[in-house]
Amino acid sequence: MSGENPGLGPSGHVDDFARRNLPPFQQWPKLLLDRPEFQYPDYLNAAVELTDRIVEQGMGDHVALIGNGRQRTYKELTDWSNRLAHALVENYGVKPGHRVLIRSGNNPALVAAWLAATKAGAVVVNTMPMLRAGELTKIVDKAEISLALTDSRVADELVACAKTSKFLKQVVNFDGTQNHDAELDRIALNKAVKFDAVKTGRDDVALLGFTSGTTGEPKATMHFHRDLLIIADGYAKEVLNVTPDDVFVGSPPLAFTFAPSIFAQLRCRHVKVPLVNGLPSANSVADRPLRPHSSIRSAQTASVFGFIPAKMLTIHPLVKNGVCAPDTLFTSNPLGSVLLIGSLPT
């Protein structure tokens, strides 16, 4: 990293690629981290805070995710991500600081793989399934990625990318349907449910959020472990005023920089409903028994609520990311929801 030392904390990475490639400190915005809730310890693994720590607090039986026709508790998500982390370290040689690309649509398997790679100390690079081999190659080359995990249903373009890439050496399939019928799943099934997560620094990069590259060379934003928790401890807690009964639904692809929003929801012990193809169905919400006054807070546009049985839910509030917000979103609001204009994590 060029420029003066910004006072970053210690690192747990043995591969210093991410810290070495941080932008010059003079180009950083002013970071307002003086609030007491943002005073994190020097060493912090965000994935542990979002899963293992919640189980330790006696909330393992709370629902964490709904998807693919079933619910998953924090205990289930913790155990499965720990099994996957064992596999990544023991079978695929992941070291702290390695970049691991994940390719998948919105589903619980993506969330588990992401948490597992983070527990292993990797820097996660989530990518959308619409990207083709040429677009993936630019991301792989820029981040110097040697291992990629992919939903087996969308593996072809990543396999094609690996054939000509000087960096990408391993493409490993996981089962996006959660039937555990893919290479990574089969290996993980034989692993322990306890995993000693890497002691990453709060200022270690945990996530690279790439642009799609459709309008030029793809660019990546760099997010520290503490950044992922600040989303929850700041915006979700102080602005959304979330409660343990809230359910989050959103249409945005988790891979396209919206993914940190799931950290906010898991951190606050709420339910996230990952949605395939960006659109929810009535069943994706209806298969969880909801009390009449339960609330759903969305991470995207009002159109998603057209698929939710209105008689079941009270919508409060609606969060829009501010991109291409139509005038009708403000002039016609039949749900009577509070409209909050947010922004991408980047």
Determine the Cα–Cα distance for residues 207 and 257; give it in Å rounded to an integer: 9
Q: Within a domain: residue 221?
A: yes
Statement to judge: residues 176 and 280 lie in one domain:
no
Pair of tokens at residue 18: 């991410």
Statement to judge: residues 191 and 269 lie in one domain:
no
Statement to judge: residues 221 and 327 lie in one domain:
no
Find residue 210's DSSP bridge partners.
220
User: What is the DSSP annotation of 158-226?
Assistant: HHHHHHH-SS--EEEEE-TTSS--SHHHHHHTTS-S-------BTTSEEEEEE---TTSS--EEEEEHH
Which of 225, 257, 274 finishes a domain?
A: 225
Spatial contact of 61 and 75, defined as CB atoms under 8 Å apart: yes
Which of 210, 225, 240 finishes a domain?
A: 225
DSSP-derived 3-state class of residue 123? strand
Q: What is the mean pLDDT of each run of 10 residues along the chain (346 residues)?
A: 67 97 90 89 96 93 83 94 98 98 92 96 94 94 97 96 97 92 97 98 95 78 92 78 72 68 63 41 37 44 34 48 53 53 50
Determine the Cα–Cα distance for residues 48 and 57; give it in Å rounded to an integer: 12
Residue 90 has a pLDDT of 98
Residue 121 has a pLDDT of 98
Q: Within a domain: residue 33?
A: no
Q: Within a domain: residue 298?
A: yes
Determine the Cα–Cα distance for residues 203 and 339; give it in Å rounded to an integer: 33
Statement to judge: residues 52 and 125 lie in one domain:
yes
Statement to judge: residues 211 and 253 lie in one domain:
no
The structure's pTM equals: 0.84
Write down how long the chain is: 346
Residue 330 has a pLDDT of 52
- Positive/negative CA dihedral, 276, 277, 283, 289: positive
Residue 250 has a pLDDT of 66
Q: Within a domain: residue 12?
A: no
Statement to judge: residues 97 and 214 lie in one domain:
yes
Output the furthest CA–CA distance in the chain (Å, rounded): 57
Determine the Cα–Cα distance for residues 170 and 268; give it in Å rounded to an integer: 35
Domain that holds residue 202: 44-63+73-225
Statement to judge: residues 50 and 191 lie in one domain:
yes
Statement to judge: residues 266 and 323 lie in one domain:
yes
Statement to judge: residues 237 and 295 lie in one domain:
yes
Statement to judge: residues 336 and 251 lie in one domain:
yes
Pair of tokens at residue 135: 């677009």
What's CA 304's distance to the chain center, in Å?
A: 20
Q: Provide the domain count of the chain.
A: 2
Q: What is the CATH number of the domain that holds 150?
A: 3.40.50.12780
Residue 235 has a pLDDT of 76
Question: Which distant-in-sequence residues (6+ apart) come within 8 Å of 138 by Cβ?
Answer: 213, 217, 218
Q: Within a domain: residue 19?
A: no
**DSSP-derived pairing of the beta strands 220-224 and 205-210:** antiparallel
Q: Taking each helix axis as running N to C, give the angle between helix 156-164 and helix 133-143, from 0 to 180 degrees, rounded to the nearest 10.
A: 60
